[in-house]
């Protein structure tokens, strides 16, 4: 693994801004059965089940698995006791994303500054230490059930040190590198590199509230691009604004439902997410869409169906691209172009029984946008799926 974050492009330097975000430290999922979820993401998406923190490491409350690929770190967590607050959330929302955690220089200073900026606390700073160093975590509440943790690390727990040398991710995590699935995944890489963007769904009329929240609390900027204006067609039936952390770290588009011909996909999400905002999809970046999607299809990942007719008109719309266009069509990959270049993207079906969280696999060839030209094709296809579930 490289020492330089693909997102930040290099080592961190000391900063006077306590809310300077260094990296996406991890994305935490709350799930009903973390052991089985770990195998799903390892088998289908090629993640290494790298470390565990559970009964075997002395944790009698929760079980967490650290899954890694490129600069992506997922923590899958379940509660072990009947009164576990994690299991309560799983009952309300099903499996899904709880926390988009950011590495900062000082998790106490970041937390205090965020609270000064108007954030609500999710949990106060807490420190864990052992012979390898110290990890401090704190958290603020963002939309609905979602939290942003701040994580600061010292010594061997410093993220650059961990990426370069391995070792425990945090105190109480033990290695699982002996697993056969890890050996298989090392020999058959899928090639996912980092979290390109992370999309939140909020209630009707709340998009601008959360746009302002990301501006005021974390200093994000509205991403100036043609995608940042409202999009609402009879098919898309949603509005979206893209928030940008800066420093090429992460973008967070925020969706709200809009009136359309049919029930908005955002409304369907909220209906099945206890009428509570949450994370709709994570876009995972690959440098080779054809390779990654071929491997993912071989592994049995279920992607949204795209009608064959999409490919009758796409090349007129996007022009020439430096890809095997037959393979693009065979794999049902979507293509879009903006003034800076083109992108390739594909969307999975929901990753759990409730129609909530899904992944996007994205490859950027210059394009900095989100596939606006595909919205109509995508939403026609999403609506087909919605109709199959009887939710249209």
Residues near Fe ion (CB under 5 A): 283, 360
- Residue closer to Fe ion, measured from CB, 86 or 334: 334
How many angstroms separate the Cα of 54 from the Cα of each of 33, 41, 76, 84, 298?
Answer: 12, 18, 11, 14, 32
- Quote the least distance from Cβ 85 to Fe ion, whole Å: 30
- Residue closer to Fe ion, measured from CB, 203 or 360: 360
- Specify which residues 312 forms β-bridges with: none
Greatest Cα pair distance in the chain: 61
- Residue closer to Fe ion, measured from CB, 152 or 369: 369
Phi, psi of 289 (to 5 degrees): -60, -45
- Quote the least distance from Cβ 296 to Fe ion, whole Å: 16
SS3 48: strand
Residue 362 token pair: 């994205």
How many angstroms separate the Cα of 64 from the Cα of each of 36, 113, 125, 268?
Answer: 12, 29, 20, 29
- Quote the least distance from Cβ 357 to Fe ion, whole Å: 12
- Residue closer to Fe ion, measured from CB, 52 or 238: 238
- Quote the least distance from Cβ 280 to Fe ion, whole Å: 9
- Residue closer to Fe ion, measured from CB, 218 or 361: 361
- Quote the least distance from Cβ 283 to Fe ion, whole Å: 4
Closest CA to 329 of 293, 373, 367, 284: 293
- Quote the least distance from Cβ 281 to Fe ion, whole Å: 6
Buried/exposed code over 124-155 (b: 16+ C-beta within 10 A; e: otherwise): ebeeeeeebbebbbbbbebbbbbbbbbbbbee
- Residue closer to Fe ion, measured from CB, 185 or 381: 381
- Quote the least distance from Cβ 256 to Fe ion, whole Å: 15
If you search the block for the tokens 């509570």, which residue do you land on? Answer: 276
- Specify which residues 358 forms β-bridges with: 281
Return d(Cα 193, Cα 259) in angstroms, integer: 36
- Residue closer to Fe ion, measured from CB, 360 or 383: 360
């Amino acid at each position: 693994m490289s020492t330089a974050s693909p997102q930040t492009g290099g080592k961190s330097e000391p900063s006077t801004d306590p809310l300077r975000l260094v990296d996406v430290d991890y994305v935490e999922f709350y799930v009903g059965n973390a052991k089985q979820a770990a195998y799903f993401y390892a088998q289908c998406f090629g993640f290494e089940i790298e470390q565990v923190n559970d009964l075997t490491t002395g944790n009698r409350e929760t079980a967490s698995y650290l899954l890694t690929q490129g600069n992506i770190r997922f923590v899958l967590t379940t509660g072990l006791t009947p009164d576990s607050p994690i299991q309560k959330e799983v009952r309300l929302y099903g499996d899904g994303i709880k926390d988009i955690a950011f590495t900062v220089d000082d998790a106490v200073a970041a937390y205090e500054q965020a609270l000064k900026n108007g954030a609500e606390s999710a949990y106060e700073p807490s420190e864990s230490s052992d012979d390898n160093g110290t990890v401090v975590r704190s958290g603020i509440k963002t939309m609905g059930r979602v939290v942003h943790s701040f994580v600061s690390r010292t010594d061997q727990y410093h993220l650059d040190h961990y990426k370069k040398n391995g070792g425990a991710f945090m105190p109480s995590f033990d290695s699982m590198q002996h697993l056969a699935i890890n050996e298989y995944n090392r020999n058959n890489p899928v090639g996912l590199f980092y979290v390109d963007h992370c999309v939140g769904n909020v209630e009707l009329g709340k998009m601008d509230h959360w746009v302002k929240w990301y501006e005021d609390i974390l200093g994000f900027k509205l991403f100036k691009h043609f995608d940042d204006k409202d999009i609402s067609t009879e098919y898309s039936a949603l509005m979206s604004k893209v928030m940008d952390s800066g420093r090429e770290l992460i973008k967070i588009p925020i969706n709200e439902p809009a009136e359309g011909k049919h029930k908005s996909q955002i409304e369907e999400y909220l209906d099945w997410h206890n009428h509570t905002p949450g994370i709709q999809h994570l876009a995972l970046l690959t440098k080779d869409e054809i390779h990654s999607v071929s491997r993912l299809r071989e592994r049995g990942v279920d992607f949204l169906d795209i009608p064959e007719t999409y490919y009758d008109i796409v090349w007129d719309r996007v022009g020439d691209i430096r890809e095997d266009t037959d393979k693009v069509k065979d794999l049902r990959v979507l293509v879009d172009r903006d003034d800076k270049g083109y992108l390739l993207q594909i969307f999975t079906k929901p990753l759990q029984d409730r129609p909530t969280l899904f992944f996007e696999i994205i490859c950027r060839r210059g394009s900095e946008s989100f596939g606006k030209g595909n919205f109509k094709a995508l939403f026609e296809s999403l609506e087909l799926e919605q109709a199959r579930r009887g939710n249209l």
